[in-house]
Amino acid sequence: MYSNDWWVLAMIVGLTAVTLITRGFFMFPDKEIPLPAWLKRGLKYAPLAALAAVIIPEMVITDGMLSQTLRDARICAVPFAVAYYYWRKGILGTIVVGMAVYLPLRLGMGW
């Protein structure tokens, strides 16, 4: 083994340990850890914030730059998906409607 191989192995073992400790942190104690009310309220919005942080840049950025054209299948699909969500409040339907608009524009028209 080369010295780089040991370094890679050490990194894999270290990252595995960190992952196991952080993900298992709430399972180790015997009793529930009390959280302040403000933290509980804030944690309700964490999944939405994480989703927005991933999805919004994907919708408006192309090749590392802000999209300069409306001829983008992603930008055209977003209003339809948002409208469906406000109409029916269903996540699966929102994804289906968004993809039903996106795929024909992307694959059929080459946007």
Q: Are residues 80 and 71 in contact, defined by beta-carbon separation less than 8 angstroms?
A: no
* Residue 91: predicted pLDDT: 85
Taking CA atoms, 27 is separated from 3, 23, 37, in Å, by 36, 8, 21
Alpha-carbon distance of 23 to 40, in angstroms, equals 18
Return phi, psi of residue 15, to 5°.
-65, -35
Residues comprising the chain, all counted: 111
Beta carbons within 10 angstroms of residue 76's beta carbon: 16
* 15-42 pLDDT per residue, tens: 999 999 888 877 777 788 788 999 989 8
Confidence at 1, pLDDT banded by 50, 70, 90: low
* 91-102 pLDDT per residue, tens: 899 999 999 999
* 66-97 pLDDT per residue, tens: 887 878 888 899 999 999 999 998 889 999 99
Alpha-carbon distance of 14 to 38, in angstroms, equals 33
Alpha-helix residue ranges (DSSP H) falling in 1-111 = 3-24, 37-44, 46-60, 73-88, 91-103
DSSP output for 75-107: HHHHHHHHHHHHHH--HHHHHHHHHHHHHIIII
Give the mean pLDDT of 43-68: 84
